[in-house]
């Protein structure tokens, strides 16, 4: 459920379509500059996807309810989704789909989608079959050979309007709160584009007080009787340089809270966790049995028609992943007889990403480990090392690139569109829904990373975060491992060898054994 509290007639300056930006699009062979609605946000230029489609003289389809826009070129369709990093490019000749991930998400403004131009030029070039570039001096999107086009720096035309731009009636830097309710709590998004906002949160006497400074806040932002989940009422006390949001909570409902900044949007995210999930009976032996560490789910990445990454000498990632997973499973079965091993695949077969999480859940897994190998296009010795990933939106371009590759398996699935609902915002919600497992995921990551450093020659690149689809559905502590780089000749040789796989499997098994001790001790303390 989503509950928005907003001032309808206020619009943040960074998201207002500016006709003054004067971005135009010119096509080789046409003596006309087509005006493009645009705006700048976080030093990036965003342009209207609708206007770009018109400039290409291409048909487009816009679904307002779903927040999707698809541009139809001669042989390709390009689909954008609001508040989403992913682009789907479909080749209509064979219905083949490729999924690409942008460093910044697509924006939804005035019933139009605005795309970060710098990051989408190559995909527009690929889909249109023409070179698409941007000349900053003339603010011109160039379609074709730039040397053959006389750039037009001025146009008397205004960009075609998709909706009347709303009037800016204030200079406040915070105009909107958004509430989302989950079973285990409530998420509040404090919407602002301003950088450098200072914030803190403190719980006292059934109230969570969020203090904001270095920001001007619209005093009308609060509807005092706003109710959302465990939040029964919201109040605001303003100052000249900030203010205090006070969330009155349902009595006895509060368990914990988190507050952090979304580095992409600069929004402040507050999660308020519900206590209901922690209410257990001390003498409930069935509950203790439920949380006993008795099942590990091992996921060998890729498989079947999905080979994964290909190494320097042709080694297939799917084969390495399966080899490592089988060896981990054998060690568990031999040395931890009280722990059952569940495999998402034991042979060279293709398993859809969502089914892997489904298998884990149906077997009541206590730990989900997805094993993969990394790769770079350059096939050099420069990229090397092991990484372990947690499920959160990616915050580095490298993490995003890796998630993009691992997620691209959806092109082999029957319904790749099922994943398009997983926007950045929804990844945050998923992380929140899995908050009861996150500290265990983090603990296992710490144990694995330190164990790896002590036992494996492949260096550790540390613990990172990214939005892997395969982790979304696994409602238990979960991690994704990149065991090394197949694009590195030395690491490829190690990863494909029996000795290397045995060593990696032993290291991961040792981490599982240490984690089991931690898990059982912690759960016993919590349930007693």
* Ordered strands of the 112-116 beta sheet: 107-109, 112-116, 44-48, 33-41, 18-27, 140-143, 132-135
Would you state the pLDDT for residue 4? 39
Which residues on neighbouring strands pair with residue 231, listed in sequence order? 228, 249
- Contact in structure between 134 and 121 (CB atoms under 8 Å): yes
Whole-number percent of the chain with pLDDT over 90:
30
Which residues on neighbouring strands pair with residue 141, listed in sequence order? 25, 134
- Contact in structure between 348 and 319 (CB atoms under 8 Å): yes
- Domain residue ranges of the chain, discontinuous segments joined by +: 2-6+169-278, 17-148, 285-527
Residues 153-190 have pLDDT tens digits of: 444 455 554 433 333 334 678 877 888 877 667 888 88
DSSP type of residue 196: S
- Contact in structure between 222 and 230 (CB atoms under 8 Å): no
Fold entry, domain 2-6+169-278: Immunoglobulin-like (2.60.40)
Residues 94-110 have pLDDT tens digits of: 877 787 878 888 888 87
Q: Is the pLDDT of residue 193 over 70?
A: yes
DSSP type of residue 413: S
Four-CA torsion 217, 220, 221, 222, nearest 10 degrees: 130
Classify domain 285-527 by CATH number. Answer: 3.40.630.40
Furthest-apart CA atoms within the chain: distance in Å: 81
Confidence class for position 80, pLDDT limits 50, 70, 90:
very high
Residues 362-372 have pLDDT tens digits of: 888 889 898 99
Residues 371-391 have pLDDT tens digits of: 999 888 877 788 899 988 876
Would you state the pLDDT for residue 276? 54
Taking residues 338-358, what's their average pLDDT? 88
Would you state the pLDDT for residue 71? 92
Rounded CA separation 34/160 (Å): 9
Fold entry, domain 17-148: Copper Amine Oxidase; Chain A, domain 1 (3.30.457)
The residue with tokens 């502590």 is: 477
- Contact in structure between 117 and 45 (CB atoms under 8 Å): yes
Residue 103 CB contacts under 8 Å (≥ 6 apart), including other chains = 85, 116, 119, 397, 400
Report pTM.
0.47
The first and second tokens of residue 417, run together, are: 């569109």
């Amino acid at each position: 459920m989503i509950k928005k509290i907003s001032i309808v007639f206020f619009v943040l300056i960074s998201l207002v379509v500016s006709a003054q930006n004067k971005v135009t699009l010119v096509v080789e062979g046409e003596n006309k500059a087509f005006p493009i609605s645009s705006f700048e946000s976080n030093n990036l230029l965003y342009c209207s996807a609708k206007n770009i489609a018109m400039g290409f003289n291409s048909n487009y389809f816009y679904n307002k309810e779903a927040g999707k826009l698809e541009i139809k070129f001669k042989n390709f369709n390009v689909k954008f989704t609001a508040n989403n990093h992913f682009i789907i490019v479909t080749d209509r000749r064979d219905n083949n789909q490729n999924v690409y991930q942008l460093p910044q998400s697509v924006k939804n403004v005035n019933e139009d989608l605005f795309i970060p131009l710098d990051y989408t030029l190559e995909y527009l070039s690929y889909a249109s079959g023409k070179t698409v570039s941007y000349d900053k001096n003339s603010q011109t999107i160039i379609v074709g050979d730039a040397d053959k086009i006389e750039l037009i720096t001025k146009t008397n035309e205004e960009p075609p309007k998709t909706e009347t731009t709303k009037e800016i009636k204030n200079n406040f830097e915070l105009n909107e709160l958004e509430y989302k309710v989950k079973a285990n709590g409530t998420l509040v998004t404090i919407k602002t584009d301003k950088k450098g906002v200072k914030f803190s949160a403190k719980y006292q006497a059934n109230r969570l007080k969020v203090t904001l400074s270095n920001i001007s806040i619209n005093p009308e932002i609060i509807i005092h009787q706003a109710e959302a989940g465990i939040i029964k009422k919201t109040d605001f006390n303003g100052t000249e340089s900030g203010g205090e949001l006070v969330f009155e909570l349902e009595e006895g409902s509060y368990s914990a809270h988190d507050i952090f900044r979304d580095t992409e949007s600069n929004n402040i995210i507050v999660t308020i966790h519900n206590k209901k999930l922690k209410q257990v009976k001390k003498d409930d032996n069935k509950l203790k049995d439920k949380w006993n560490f008795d099942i590990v789910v091992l996921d060998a990445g890729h498989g079947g028609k999905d080979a994964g990454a290909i190494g320097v000498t042709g080694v297939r990632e799917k084969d390495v992943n399966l080899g490592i997973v089988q060896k981990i499973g054998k060690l568990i079965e031999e040395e931890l007889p009280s722990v059952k091993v569940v495999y998402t695949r034991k042979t060279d077969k293709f398993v859809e990403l969502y089914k892997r999480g489904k298998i884990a859940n149906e077997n009541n897994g206590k730990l989900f480990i997805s094993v993969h190998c990394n790769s770079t296009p350059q096939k050099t010795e420069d990229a090397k090392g092991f990484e372990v990933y947690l499920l959160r939106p990616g915050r580095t371009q490298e993490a995003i690139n890796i998630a993009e590759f691992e997620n691209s398996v959806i092109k082999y699935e029957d319904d790749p569109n099922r994943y398009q609902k997983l926007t950045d915002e929804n990844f945050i919600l998923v992380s929140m829904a899995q908050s009861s497992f996150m500290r265990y995921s983090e603990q296992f990551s710490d144990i694995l990373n330190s164990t790896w450093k002590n036992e494996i020659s492949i260096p550790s690149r540390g613990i990172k975060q990214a939005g892997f689809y395969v982790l979304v559905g696994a409602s238990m502590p979960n991690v994704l491992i990149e065991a090394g780089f197949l694009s590195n000749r030395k690491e490829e040789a190690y990863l494909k060898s029996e000795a290397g796989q045995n060593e990696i499997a032993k290291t991961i098994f040792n981490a599982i054994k240490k984690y089991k001790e931690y898990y059982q001790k912690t759960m016993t303390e919590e349930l007693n």
